Amino acid sequence: MYVYILANKPYGTLYIGVTNNLIRRVYEHKNKITDGFTAKYNLDRLVYYEIYESEIEAIKREKTLKSWLRDWKIDLINKFNPEWKDLYSEITL
């Protein structure tokens, strides 16, 4: 299981999600397979992710991150991915 954060640009709009298949899910966001928040705001840059063994842990972490202040989320991304590069190409190797 994965918890992930998408952005439309560095320090832009953020989206936090959870999935059991990160490659497939980011592909869906990039190709706007479903309408919604990520399609509306062009959120297709994978800037952060975490891996979990259990679905329960991942969902708990997703809810925690969603409750954080924006500055905390920005700090988390900056520590993991200071250039805010799209990590999608790295996970598809």
Q: In terms of DSSP bridges, do strands 14-19 and 2-7 run parallel, antiparallel, or are they unpaired?
A: antiparallel
- Edge to edge, the sheet with strand 2-7 lists 14-19, 2-7, 45-51
Q: Which pair of tokens denotes residue 81?
A: 């991915």
Contact 14, 73 (CB under 8 A): yes
Q: How much is the pTM? A: 0.96
3-class SS at 91?
A: helix
Q: Which CATH class is domain 2-91?
A: alpha beta
| Cβ atoms of residues 62 and 27 within 8 Å | no
Tokens of 62: 């997703």
Residue 10's contacts (CB-CB under 8 Å, 6 or more residues apart) are 84
Give the pLDDT of the chain (93 residues) as one tens digit per residue.
999 999 999 999 999 999 999 999 999 999 999 889 999 999 999 999 999 999 999 999 999 999 999 999 999 999 999 999 999 999 998
Q: Is residue 17 within a helix (H) or strand (E), and if so which, with residue range?
A: strand 14-19
Tokens representing 44 are: 């297709």
